[in-house]
Amino acid sequence: MSDFEAMWRDLSPLGRSSATGGYFRTPWTAAERECVDWFHDQADARGMATEQDWVGNAIAWWRPDSVPSTGEGVLTGSHLDSVLDGGAFDGPLGVVSAFAAIDILRERGVPATKPIGVGLFVEEEGSRFGLACLGSRLSTGATTWEQAARLRDRDGVWFLDALEAAGVGPGKASLELQANVGCFVELHVEQGRDLVDRGAPVGVASAIWPHGRYRFDFTGEANHAGTTRMEDRRDPMLTYAMTALAANKQARTAGQRATFGRVDVHPNGTNAVPSAVTAWLDARADSTQHLQAMLAEVERLAQDRARRDGTELAITTESVAGEVTFDPDLLRRIATGSTGGRRAWPVIPTMAGHDAGVLSSAGIPTAMLFVRNPTGVSHSPAEYAELVDCLAGVEALADTLGRLAT
Ligand code: GLV
Ligand code: MN
Ligand code: MN
């Protein structure tokens, strides 16, 4: 059994639901902390020195003797948290592959002249506190701790209380990524079918689409479902329903993406017109301008509908990430590298968000490798990658890290 398979076998049961087969590795809960413990065990087993910050972001460093201990590190890794009922590969594939790639480099005696780190970023999905890539945003300064301290999860738990309850710490104020990391390469399962269509097990990312998350608060009037005449209602569910349809139509006609995947209804009773509906829009587009234009049009249609329904709508932006173009020089070195006479890997854009985007925006030269996903399904228990493709990804990562660190 390869190192990759052994690690995958150990990690796979953690946080898996027996009901759905999907994963609930929600940040700073027991299941996700088990994954984090697994990470530290892997680092310890390899004699890698681990540093951790105050929220639990961590880097396990492999520093061959004679390699200076600071600066210009080559960082890889990913995240171990999941969306609610997520897949096994989104995040963990990058972490497991990182350790496996370092094992290969050590076995082959690759003469690294720079330290190589395996990074673990917390709350990448934003599934608990709503802010995508919260860990990497905190570690690069894109989000301040004062901003994070104002976040609450859906049960009303404050961010700092969640950290304390999870027993995170002690840790450094910051991993000082901009000072210690010369470049970052994140390997990730592909979340589409581009590589299937191209017949390639591995690809390289060119760019990440801009991405926004917006909270829509619709308010109306609670009333009796039987006695209230249809024309007398102020039903926020109707305004929400029309808004969801409008967002879908806007995105489809413009070739962009819009999703309402989370809704809270109050009081959520079968026989009452609701008083309030809160829904979250996840919107992505090929440029910031198109993202803003789509949101403006959805808002216009939603407010127009609210006037007709006698309801009210307030929209709050919870997070916006701009377009990311990965480092062209790094991309060229990775995609056209000449090791082993292999053919070049295809270069593809992605509509998914990643810590790699945050590090890139912080000025760290960054690239991503994708591993083929046969169905393209992701953020679902059905997410999958064949073992042979995962191992090709490990080889590609080892090849890349070896070239960047020597
Ligand atoms: C993270 O995977 C995202 O794109 O939302
Ligand atoms: Mn994800
Ligand atoms: Mn991910």
Residue 83 CB-density burial (10 A; 0-12 exposed, 13-18 middle, 19+ buried): buried
Q: Are 312 and 278 in contact (CB under 8 A)?
A: no
User: What is the C-alpha to C-alpha distance for residues 136 and 121, in angstroms, rounded to an integer?
Assistant: 6
| pLDDT digit string, tens, across residues 344-380 | 789 999 999 999 999 999 999 999 999 999 999 999 9
| pLDDT digit string, tens, across residues 72-81 | 899 999 999 9
DSSP state of 342: P
Q: Which residues of 267-292 are buried (b: 16+ CB within 10 A; e: fewer)?
A: eeeeebbbbbbbbbbbbbbbeeebbe
pLDDT band at 332 (very low <50, low <70, confident <90, very high): confident
Q: Which helix (H) or strand (E) holds 37?
A: helix 30-45
Residue 65 has pLDDT above 90, yes or no: no
Residue 45 has pLDDT above 50, yes or no: yes
Ligand closest to the CA atom of residue 94: 3
User: What is the C-alpha to C-alpha distance for residues 94 and 91, in angstroms, rounded to an integer?
Assistant: 6
Non-local (6+) Cβ contacts of 280 within 8 A are 130, 213, 214, 215, 216, 260, 261, 262, 263, 318
Residue-level pLDDT at 337: 54
The dihedral built from the CA positions of residue 327, 121, 322 and 295, taken in this order, carries a sign that is positive
Question: Which of 185-199, 318-332, 382-396 shows the lowest per-residue confidence on average (mean pLDDT)?
Answer: 318-332
Q: Are 144 and 104 in contact (CB under 8 A)?
A: no
User: What is the C-alpha to C-alpha distance for residues 90 and 80, in angstroms, rounded to an integer?
Assistant: 8
Ligand 1 within 6 A of CB of 324: no
Non-local (6+) Cβ contacts of 229 within 8 A are none
Task: Find the 179 Cα to ligand 3 centroid distance in Å.
Answer: 24
Residue-level pLDDT at 343: 61
DSSP alpha helix (H) spans, 126-285: 134-140, 145-149, 159-165, 177-180, 194-198, 236-254
Q: Whose CA is nearest to atom 5 of ligand 1?
A: 353
Q: Whose CA is nearest to atom 1 of ligand 1?
A: 353
User: What is the C-alpha to C-alpha distance for residues 81 and 104, in angstroms, rounded to an integer?
Assistant: 26
Q: Are 151 and 131 in contact (CB under 8 A)?
A: yes
Task: Find the 124 Cα to ligand 3 centroid distance in Å.
Answer: 7
pLDDT band at 15 (very low <50, low <70, confident <90, very high): very high
Q: What is the mean pLDDT of residues 129-158?
A: 96
| pLDDT digit string, tens, across residues 95-138 | 999 999 999 999 999 999 999 999 999 999 999 999 999 999 99
Residue-level pLDDT at 2: 83
| pLDDT digit string, tens, across residues 252-294 | 999 999 999 999 999 999 999 999 999 999 999 999 999 999 9
Residue 69 has pLDDT above 80, yes or no: no
Closest-lying ligand 1 atom to the alpha carbon of residue 378: 2
pLDDT band at 341 (very low <50, low <70, confident <90, very high): low
Overall pTM surpassing 0.75 (yes/no): yes
Ligand 1 within 6 A of CB of 212: no
* Rounded percentage of the chain residues whose pLDDT exceeds 70: 98
